[in-house]
Copies of this chain bind each other. A is one copy, B any other.
Amino acid sequence: MSRLLAYLPLYSWLKNYQRDSFVSDMVAGIVVGIMLIPQGMAYAFLAGLPPQYGLYAAIIPLFLYALLGSSRSLAVGPVAIASLMVGSTIADSTARGLGDPVTIAINLSLLVGVILILLRIMRLGAIVNFMSHSVISGFTSAAALLIAISQIRHLTGLNIPSGGFFTDTFSYLLSNLQAVNSATLLLGLSGLFTLWFVKAKLCCLLERSPLPVWLVQPVCRAGPMFAMIVGIVLVASLQLEQSHQVAIVGAIPEGLPTLSLISIDLQLWQQLLTPAFLIALIGFLESVSVGTTLASKRRERIDPNKELIALGAANLGAAFSGTYPVAGGFGRSMVNHSAGAQTTIASIISALMVVITVSFFTPLFYYLPKAVLGAVIIMAVIPLIDVKSFTDSWRFNKADALTLLGTFAFVLLLGVELGIMAGIAISFILLLYRSSQPHIAVVGRVGDSQHFRNIQRHDVATDKHILAIRVDESLYFANTRFVEDFIRAQCASHRQVEHVVLICNAVNFIDASALESLENLSVHLQSQAITLHFAEVKGPVMDQLQSTRFIEQISPGRIFFTTDEAVRELGLGDAEVYEI
């Protein structure tokens, strides 16, 4: 029992839990709760589910994460990108007659939870490392853009067919401008205005006012709530849903979600496996990266293994409360942190606010216009469109920038699933391409030190009989021919060379193709009275070479401990050793 408790991060935090900490958690929990209620409804909507499912996803999963999670301030619940992915899976699966949206959502949650826990058990959490920063950044920006575009339908009241190419939305919009529901559009714009006004103007005013922080904080984050109130009041007072056919949320069932039993449907699971895997990976990655960022601000660290379990449990909780997958969201986690959350008690407070809402206040949302939910979604995803990452990586590394741009383009063109897979493929191919044409330097001695550097960058001394070549890459199938050609060309243009020393301090492994190529090279050079030597071969590579007959085969070529030693020994017997 005590070992189990020791596993729970919350238990260790509560040991030193003070009254102050609880007040902080309380404020942060309320602030996040105020955002969570409108966002939950809006994201459910984005996933193609009735709004209450977004609220259900903000109860049991939050309690489970609060218990098991290793991040003090990660705010778990329905998030934008996972909602988009669930939405596209639901649209796809219902079109193929695999079941109703809610059944598919529940099964997705179950699979996501199981996959995350399996990744922990199989110690494969490191798999997320194969998605590079650039792939994630390109993916996130493109997904945010797709989400924003998908809301045009709700802001205009137009029945834009979903599932097509993203430009279809614009062409439909342009050819049906006369059919735009102006009341809906005005409600949407008023929602956007309210959100912008609260965030950009009201908040600044209040922060400069003498009002206490515990009051300013919740008001600043209440933009979505205010937008909803404005929308509800306008629709209800002017009866816009009747006079102007404004689409409203309508009746939401009151009460907590009932625990559901999930039936085993192997055929459905097979169909949902790939999307569930991607939702699990993206959700885990988003949570870990936000969690790491926030933890490092406190000079702490989160434990990715515990996160796998905590997020897995949260998703199983989502499945059993009959709703769709959850993750740690970017926006609400940032707010949770800056509002002062000390522990996951804050999440429990947020969840309790949702419990109160679904228990008593759902009738208040009857007149809530869908256009306002669209506005809430758009304002939430705009910060995810990240142009700076692109400009930064363009300056630092063109391959990263290309990966980012490629992923962005493929997500827009092929959709989220195929798009991210294409992005990962691009990052792999560029990596291989880079290492297939490695940097190779001819080096010389720096002054009279034991160090050797590139003759093109440093003022170094070389021996005309010795060619010291450093290959800045492991030797393997994709670059072995390139390296061989370089060395042959160098030998051809330095006629006095008698010894070639291949400096292997950057060679981290040698594969079978490269081994064969080096043997051939050694034989070929020998025929021109040139001996091939090696220097600074690393321990693991040396072990590998010793398991073969390589060392005999390159004889009289030798393997030197250092370049210095090689050049000293091979240069002996020659009076005029160095020429600068």
Contacts and interface: CB of A to CB of B under 8 A. Distances in A.
Given A450-B450, A506-B506, A520-B296, A396 B515 contact: yes
B450 A397 contact: no
A448 to B, nearest CB: 11
Contact of A397 (B131, B427, B511, B520): B511
Contact of A396 (B400, B434, B476, B512): B512
A18 interface: no
Interface string A520-551: 10011001000000000011100010011000
A133 interface: yes
Interface string A497-511: 000000001111111
Given A130-B477, A476-B431, A451 B508 contact: no
A513 interface: yes
Contacts of A539: 441, 454, 457
A205 interface: no
B527 A299 contact: yes
Given A450-B450, A477-B130, A512 B296 contact: no
Contacts of A515: 396
A477 B126 contact: no
Contacts of A431: 432, 476
A393 B512 contact: yes
A480 interface: yes
A396 B299 contact: no
A132 B511 contact: yes
Interface in A442-494: 449-451, 454, 457, 472-474, 476-482, 488
A488 B397 CA distance: 26
Contact of A477 (B132, B432, B454, B479): B132
Contacts of A509: 397, 434
A129 B477 contact: yes
Contacts of A562: 449, 451
A129 B299 contact: no
A396 B479 CA distance: 19
A432 B130 contact: yes
Nearest to A527: B299
Interface of A: 126, 129-135, 292, 296, 299, 301, 389, 392-393, 395-397, 399-400, 427-428, 431-432, 434-436, 438-439, 441, 449-451, 454, 457, 472-474, 476-482, 488, 505-513, 515-516, 520, 523-524, 527, 538-540, 544, 547-548, 561-562, 564
